[in-house]
Amino acid sequence: MSILSTGLEKLQHFALAPTAVRTTNLDGTAVDLADYEGDIVVILDVANGGTSTLDVKIQSSDTSGGTYSDVTTAFYRGGSEVASAAVAFVQASTTASKQYLVFPKGAAKRWIKAVSTTSSSSHTYSINAVGTKKYV
């Protein structure tokens, strides 16, 4: 039991985009991964009732205010690898959707953020992540 509780103490939740109704594209707030190790789990939670399409991807940069590029390696919840020009969630539309992506910290640069594109409508959604903090 002590091994499990020690591992859970290291898990840290961080919001890439808190729950909100959004009517424009999102260029999220950057999160520093310097104190994390291992895999990062990103969760997209979209409420029912959107009226158009929603595309979400994860980008990274060496510095908070630097130039961001798409993270290109991740895994779906079932374990299948997603390797492409951009790691993105499956496009959401008018129905509720909860999706997970996992990427190794080494697949991203120091800072990550979520970026979304919506086709001229509103969606209620959040983008959250969980990672393992390094021992200090």
- Give the pLDDT of residue 73: 81
Q: Are 46 and 92 in contact (CB under 8 A)?
A: yes
User: pLDDT tens across 23-46, in order?
Assistant: 889 999 999 999 999 999 999 999
Confidence band for 2, pLDDT divided at 50, 70 and 90? very low
Structure token digits, residue 35: 């104190």
Listed in sequence order, the DSSP H helices in 1-136 are 2-10
Q: Has residue 3 got a pLDDT over 60?
A: no
Q: Has residue 90 got a pLDDT over 80?
A: yes
pTM of the shown model: 0.85
Q: Which residues contact 100 (CB under 8 A, 6 or more apart)?
A: 41, 42, 43, 44, 76, 77
Q: How far is CA 51 from each of CA 40, 46, 47, rounded to the nearest angstrom?
A: 30, 12, 11
Q: Has residue 55 got a pLDDT over 70?
A: yes
Q: Has residue 5 got a pLDDT over 60?
A: no
- Give the pLDDT of residue 43: 95
Q: Has residue 83 got a pLDDT over 90?
A: no
Q: Has residue 49 got a pLDDT over 70?
A: yes
